[in-house]
């Protein structure tokens, strides 16, 4: 496969867009309100906008687009790290092979089931399963067995995992077929940096040193039948403007080749990690202001692609960034294998990186509820086959709102009923009451009321 990332073209595009005219920036902002996305030149112009008044206009347009397409829902998931053995040497990661101080662990199936039970008892329904890249200690067979174990692990009160997304090293088309058969949801992979020279520097050895094998992983996943793929860049390794354009070129490549762009874009920022030089001193640190701007620009550029924010970011900033276009968030996370059952003790010695937001799922839910967001554990589209191109066709005319809002309310109710603390339950019931009042269609309102009642009577897993 051809390398579709052209460093010189990205640099030239950014160069051309320097010091943009006010009127041109406003024209692009206006165009983005039509929700049809932006070209690389337009994205570069927004990225090169330093005028604070215009930056504020970009931010408020991102808030508008987020509300228009996604409403105020936030889908919640938990990452599940099953092994931290790794043959790669990524200079920013605590799992790198040269980190001799890391306590290495590959969870047994029983330990994985224990982790899953802990997460289910907190109320999680969606997982992102991850591991380091290591043939001997975390092979694909092992990983698939872990997926099967997690799906098969259930707890009282309808506790079950309904969707498992995965984030593992690039696979062959054949192996992606096996992952598809294991009923994974989205295949997520971050390119880390789209800048070839920085990529080489950050990945000195191991299979991950191959830029092109990684860049084309989503292609092979789609060829292997996986409908939804996620992309991402690790912000802090290279110039953030360059990385945003890299993401846009990647999205355009998938869209033009397969008729559907990425399902999600992740925007991780570098966090400190044990014995990881590039994480301790990021080569291109991204400030909070730059981070706000880049999230907003991505929202304007690819309005229908979900955006994921992890617990890497501190709580206060996370709340603010949600409104700029985030549709999925992790909560209550641990990045050390076995971290959920064992709690916080000595976590850093086995963790991939430090977390900025260490609150529990219930605390996060209380917080987002009181800020007017609807927490969602919905997995309906994936289970009803509304994926890939079908999902995008449906999302584009705004149907996402109709289905997703209802399913968010139903899954949130189930959470409140089964797992919430008293304080969260009160805040949550108030929010649901208000949302019911705001529901316009008579039929939708009736359907919601009937199903909410059924959930109160103990039914689970209701969705449309
Ligand atoms: N080992 C696989 C890989 O590298 O793609 C699977 C997932 S790895 C456990 C998940 C992601 O964590 C990496 O793609 C990287 O972007 C991110 N990561 C690694 N070190 C990090 C750090 N110090 N701060 C923030 N994110 C980090
Ligand atoms: Fe291994 Fe992934 Fe960490 Fe790199 S980022 S050292 S591949 S776990």
Predicted confidence (pLDDT) per residue in 183-203, tens digit: 999 999 999 999 999 999 999
DSSP sequence for 370-435: HTT-EEE---HHHHHT--HHHHHHHHTTTHHHHHHHHHHHHHHHHHHHHT--HHHHHHHHHHHHHH
- In the reported structure, the alpha carbon of residue 138 is separated from the centroid of ligand 2 by a whole-number distance in angstroms of 12
Closest Cα to residue 175, out of 187, 161, 162? 187
For residues 119-135, average pLDDT: 96
Distance 317 CA to ligand 2 centre (A): 26
Residue 382 CB less than 6 A away from ligand 1: no
E strands, 143-190, in order = 163-167, 184-188
- Atom 18 in ligand 1: residue holding the nearest Cα: 93
183, 151 in Cβ contact below 8 A?
yes
Q: Which of helix, strand or coil describes residue 328?
A: strand
CA pair distance 396, 72, nearest whole angstrom: 17
Tell me, what's the pLDDT at 125?
96
What is the number of the ligand closest to the CA of 130? 1
DSSP label of 14: H
Residue 347 pLDDT more than 60? Answer: no
Evaluate whether 420 touches 455 at the Cβ level (below 8 Å): no
Q: Which atom of ligand 2 is nearest to the CA of 97?
A: 6
CA of 153 to the centre of ligand 2 (A): 27
345 falls in which pLDDT band (50, 70, 90)? very low
Beta-carbon contacts of residue 252 (< 8 Å; ≥ 6 apart): 40, 261
Which three-class secondary structure state does DSSP give residue 186? strand
Q: What is the pLDDT of residues 260-274, one digit of tens each?
A: 999 999 999 998 899
436 sits in the region (left: phi over 0; alpha: psi -120 to 50; else beta) called: alpha
Ligand that comes closest to the CA of residue 353: 1
Q: What is the pLDDT of residue 353?
A: 66
Per the CB < 8 A criterion, the answer to whether 133 and 83 are in contact is no
Q: What is the 96 CA–ligand 2 centroid distance (Å)? A: 6
Q: Which of 139, 234, 267 to mutate to test the pocket of ligand 1 (most atoms within 8 A of CB)?
A: 234
Predicted pLDDT of residue 92: 97
Write the pLDDT tens digit of every residue in 134-146: 999 999 999 999 9
**Do residues 450 and 464 touch, judged by C-beta distance below 8 A?**
no
Mean pLDDT of the chain: 92
SS3 call for 77: strand
Closest CA to 317 of 356, 279, 353: 356
Please name each of the domains of the chain with its CATH number.
67-393 (3.20.20.70), 400-455 (no CATH)
Q: Which residues does 25 contact at the CB level (< 8 Å), separation at least 6?
A: 45, 46, 49, 51, 54, 57
Q: Which ligand is nearest to the CA of 92?
A: 1
Sign of the C-alpha dihedral computed for residues 137, 143, 149 and 155 taken in this order: positive
**What average pLDDT does range 8-37 have in this prediction?**
98
Residues with CB under 6 A from ligand 2: 86, 88, 90, 93, 95-96, 132-133, 208
Residues β-bridged to residue 307: 265
pLDDT tens digits, 303-313: 999 999 987 77
């Amino acid at each position: 496969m051809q390398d579709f990332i052209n460093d010189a073209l990205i640099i030239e595009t950014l160069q051309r867009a320097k010091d943009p005219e006010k009127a041109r920036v406003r024209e692009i902002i206006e165009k983005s309100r039509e929700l049809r996305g932006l070209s690389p030149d337009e994205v570069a112009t927004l990225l090169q906008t330093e005028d604070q008044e215009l930056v504020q206009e970009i931010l408020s347009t991102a808030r508008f687009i987020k509300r228009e397409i996604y409403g105020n829902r936030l889908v919640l998931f938990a990452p599940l790290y099953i092994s931290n053995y790794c043959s790669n040497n990524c200079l920013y990661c605590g799992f790198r092979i040269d980190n001799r101080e890391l306590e290495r662990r590959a969870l047994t199936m029983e330990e994985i089931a224990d982790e899953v039970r802990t997460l289910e008892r907190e109320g999680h329904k969606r997982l992102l399963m991850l591991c380091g890249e290591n043939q001997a200690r975390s092979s694909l067979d092992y990983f698939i067995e872990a997926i099967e174990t997690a799906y098969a692990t259930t707890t009282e009160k309808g506790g079950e995992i309904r969707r498992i997304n995965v984030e593992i090293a690039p696979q062959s088309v054949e192996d992606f077929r096996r992952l598809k058969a294991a009923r994974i949801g989205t295949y997520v992979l971050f390119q880390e940096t789209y800048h070839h020279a920085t990529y080489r520097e950050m990945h000195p050895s191991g299979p991950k040193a191959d830029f092109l094998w990684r860049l084309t992983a989503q292609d092979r996943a789609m060829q292997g039948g996986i409908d939804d793929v996620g992309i991402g860049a690790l912000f802090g390794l290279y110039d953030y403007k360059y990385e945003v354009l890299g993401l846009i070129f990647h999205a355009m490549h998938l869209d033009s080749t397969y008729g559907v762009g990425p399902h999600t874009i992740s925007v991780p920022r570098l966090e400190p990690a044990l014995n990881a030089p590039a994480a301790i001193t990021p080569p291109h640190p991204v400030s909070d202001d730059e981070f706000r701007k880049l999230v907003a620009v991505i929202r304007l550029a690819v309005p229908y692609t979900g955006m994921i924010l992890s617990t890497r970011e501190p709580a206060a900033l996370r709340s603010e960034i949600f409104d700029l276009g985030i549709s999925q968030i992790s909560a209550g996370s641990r990045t050390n294998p076995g971290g959920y059952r064992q709690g916080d003790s000595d976590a850093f010695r086995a963790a991939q990186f430090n977390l900025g937001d260490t609150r529990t799922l219930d605390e996060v839910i209380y917080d987002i509820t009181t800020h007017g967001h609807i927490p969602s554990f919905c997995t309906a589209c994936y289970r009803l086959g509304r994926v890939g191109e079908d999902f995008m066709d449906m999302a584009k005319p705004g149907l996402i709102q109709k289905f997703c809002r209802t399913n968010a309310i139903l899954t949130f109710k189930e959470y409140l009923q089964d797992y919430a603390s008293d304080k969260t339950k009160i805040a949550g019931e108030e929010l649901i009451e208000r949302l019911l009042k705001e529901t316009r269609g008579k039929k939708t309102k009736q359907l919601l009321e009937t199903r909410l009642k059924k959930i109160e009577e103990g039914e689970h897993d209701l969705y449309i």
